[in-house]
């Protein structure tokens, strides 16, 4: 049996400020760093030999992974970074306050923007300082791959091909992925075989490792959060 551990990054500065973040490259808060270290302790207690480490291009996920590995006393020189694991792009909502946007669009519409399968917000202007083409972190990504807005479906369509090509072949081993709420939701949709409606109910908490156990055929056998006090409904098992 092998294991895939999925961790959403710890609380970021824009999580704290309740802003739509997407591809903007923000830092962890002190609480987010603490969440990452607590995640590391939970993972350390599993006594697993973890062989591969994946994360996105975004510093909040990279720092979360490094803090986890430091807590576990694991060398971090084998981290694989992939822009395909980045957070979903929130388009013109990027940088805006979620509560204020509910007052403008209504709670139902904002929930649709945040949780639906195939609804995109309006695209973010390329003149915006928040546009990914203006962020140095993404300078080596082909411009035709940089989005101006995304739905969860769009996120799924970049996450899952990367997973199938780069992560799945290594799942005879134990693997740790530190990523984002929506890139992990995309992975869970695929691994849990959730339909387009059911996926709207799935939420991923920050800094709480999700342990997936797989059989020899790499089929999912079980899934659980390591911190049960902050667990969300996985809609399976």
> Catalytic: which of 35, 63, 87, 150?
87
0.75 exceeded by the pTM?
yes
Q: Where are the alpha helices (DSSP H) in 17-135?
A: 30-44, 59-71, 98-105, 107-115
Could you confirm whether 87 is annotated as catalytic?
yes
Give the span between the Cα atoms of 162 and 1, in whole angstroms: 22
Look at the block and give the residue holding tokens 């302790």.
41
Domain positions in the chain are 2-87+153-230
Q: What is the tens place of the pLDDT at every residue in 13-49?
A: 999 999 999 999 999 999 999 999 999 999 999 999 9
End-to-end Cα spacing for the chain: 18
**Residue 52 main-chain phi, psi, to 5 deg:** -135, 145
Look at the block and give the residue holding tokens 């990914």.
132
Q: What is the tens place of the pLDDT at every residue in 85-109?
A: 999 999 999 999 999 999 998 988 8
- Find the length of the chain: 237
What is 2-87+153-230's CATH superfamily?
Answer: Phosphoglycerate mutase-like (3.40.50.1240)
Could you confirm whether 63 is annotated as catalytic?
no
> Catalytic: which of 9, 89, 131, 180?
9
């Amino acid at each position: 049996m092998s294991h895939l551990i999925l961790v959403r990054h710890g609380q970021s500065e824009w999580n704290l400020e309740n802003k739509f973040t997407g591809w903007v490259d923000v830092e962890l808060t002190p609480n987010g760093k603490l969440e990452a270290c607590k995640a590391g302790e939970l993972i350390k207690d599993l006594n697993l030999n973890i062989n591969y480490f994946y994360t996105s291009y975004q510093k909040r996920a990279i720092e979360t992974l490094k803090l986890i590995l430091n807590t576990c006393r694991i060398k971090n020189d084998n981290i694989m970074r992939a822009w395909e694991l980045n957070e979903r792009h929130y388009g013109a909502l990027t940088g805006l306050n979620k509560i204020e946007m509910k007052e403008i669009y209504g709670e139902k519409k904002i929930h649709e923007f945040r949780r639906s399968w195939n609804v995109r917000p309006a695209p973010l202007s390329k003149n915006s300082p928040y546009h990914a083409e203006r962020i140095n972190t993404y300078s080596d990504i082909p411009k035709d791959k940089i989005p101006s807005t995304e739905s969860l479906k769009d996120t799924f369509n970049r996450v899952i091909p990367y997973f199938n090509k780069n992560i799945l072949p290594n799942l005879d081993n134990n693997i740790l992925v530190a990523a984002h709420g929506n890139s992990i939701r995309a992975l869970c949709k695929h691994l849990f075989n959730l339909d387009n409606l059911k996926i709207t109910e799935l939420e991923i908490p920050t800094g709480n490792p999700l342990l997936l156990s797989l059989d020899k055929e790499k089929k999912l056998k079980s899934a659980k959060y390591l911190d049960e006090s902050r667990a969300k409904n996985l809609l399976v098992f």
